[in-house]
Homo-oligomer: A and B are copies of this chain.
Amino acid sequence: SASAGLTLAAEDPLPSWNDGETKAAIVDFVSAVTSEGGADYVPPDDRIATFDNDGTLWSEQPMYVQLAFALDRIKAMAPDHPQWKETEPYKSVLAGDMKGLAASGKKGLLEIVATTHAGMSSEEFAQIAADWIATAKHPVSGKLYTEMIYAPMLELINYLKANDFEVFIVSGGGIEFMRPWTEKTYGIPPENVVGSSIKTKYEIRDGKPVIFRLPEIDFIDDGPDKPVGIQKFIGKQPIAAFGNSDGDFQMLEWTTAGAGRRLGMIVHHDDAKREVAYDRKSHIGHLDKALDAAPEKGWHLISMKDDWSRIFPD
């Protein structure tokens, strides 16, 4: 709204962003698309912004948070499954042997996903995820994962929302893993979360209807399927998109190829001191093709080192 815009302008809506080209690009973009009568004006209904989650809104090193969740679940479930001590991929997980787990390949990982993410109702899974995220700690910082979110990106979400953007998460992560905590953590409600999913089935259990989670992949919301997920869930082309890896290439391309003013940004993990520095050679958050394409495509790199005065909320 106009009044929120004025208030924010007076206050600096992006206090954790250092002055410079990146911050200016954000403010210029928002100003352009919200200026009624201006050449770049976009009506509020079409102000759609999409954010990747892992590595864009919160830390993804040394392993995806959802993988940490799955491994913790295996450990919690192990007492009821004594045979896991002798059976891969469980044996490696229980021994903390990540190389052994990696050796079990995609098949092993899918089995871990099925074991930890399926076989219960959506309601039960949401409770398991909520309980875990409320207490689980990051292995390096010792902080809650929800404290490992990027303060500047949270300010950006709020700045866009104050300017009548509708903000969505579009993540390769599990949609039902994220939904229990995105509202509290980012101010993004469950219905604005797009992500990967497993198949589910409606059924009556003990006289009560439930959505039961099946051990079968339904949709992987990554790479070229991010625009597919956006079209399926939102049905509108975003005018702004934010990512951090090659998995966001097509989301950025789809967003910035549209007519009119568009904004594409890549969070570049170049701050070894305050977070972790990685890009082309990293398995997690692999950023190579999109890094090369950025200049030609007009995508802005967000330097965590230079553009952000702080990384995490205080």
Which A residues have a C-beta under 8 Å from some C-beta of B?
45, 122, 166, 175-176, 179, 183, 189-191, 193, 197, 200-203, 208-209, 211, 224-228, 231-236, 250, 253-254, 257
A227 x B254 contact (CB < 8 A): no
A190 x B254 contact (CB < 8 A): no
Which 10 A-B residue pairs are closest in the complex by CB-CB distance? A190-B235, A202-B224, A202-B227, A179-B235, A211-B231, A191-B234, A209-B257, A209-B254, A200-B228, A122-B231
**Interfacial chain B residues near A179, Cβ < 8 Å:** 235
Known: A209-B254, A257-B209. A235 touches B175 (CB 8 A): yes
Interface pairs (24), CB distance under 8 Å: A45-B183, A122-B231, A175-B235, A176-B235, A179-B235, A190-B235, A191-B234, A191-B236, A197-B232, A200-B228, A200-B231, A200-B232, A201-B224, A202-B224, A202-B225, A202-B227, A202-B228, A203-B224, A208-B257, A209-B227, A211-B227, A211-B228, A211-B231, A233-B233
A254 x B202 contact (CB < 8 A): yes
**Interfacial chain B residues near A208, Cβ < 8 Å:** 257
Closest chain B residue to A45, Cβ basis:
B189
In Å, the complex CA distance between A231 and B122 comes to: 8
Selected contact of A166 from candidates B166, B191, B224, CB within 8 Å: B191
- Closest chain-B Cβ to A257's Cβ sits at a distance in Å of 5
Copies in the complex: 2
**Interfacial chain B residues near A202, Cβ < 8 Å:** 224-228, 250, 254
Known: A122-B231, A231-B122, A235-B176. A253 touches B209 (CB 8 A): yes
- Closest chain-B Cβ to A209's Cβ sits at a distance in Å of 5
B235 x A191 contact (CB < 8 A): yes
In Å, the complex CA distance between A250 and B200 comes to: 14
Selected contact of A175 from candidates B191, B203, B232, CB within 8 Å: B232
**Interfacial chain B residues near A226, Cβ < 8 Å:** 202
**Interfacial chain B residues near A190, Cβ < 8 Å:** 234-236
B193 x A235 contact (CB < 8 A): yes
- Closest chain-B Cβ to A45's Cβ sits at a distance in Å of 6
In Å, the complex CA distance between A215 and B211 comes to: 28
**Interfacial chain B residues near A211, Cβ < 8 Å:** 227-228, 231
- Closest chain-B Cβ to A74's Cβ sits at a distance in Å of 25
**Interfacial chain B residues near A197, Cβ < 8 Å:** 232
12 new A-B pairs (CB below 8 Å) besides A202-B250, A208-B257? A176-B235, A179-B235, A191-B233, A191-B234, A191-B236, A193-B235, A197-B232, A200-B228, A202-B227, A202-B228, A202-B254, A211-B227
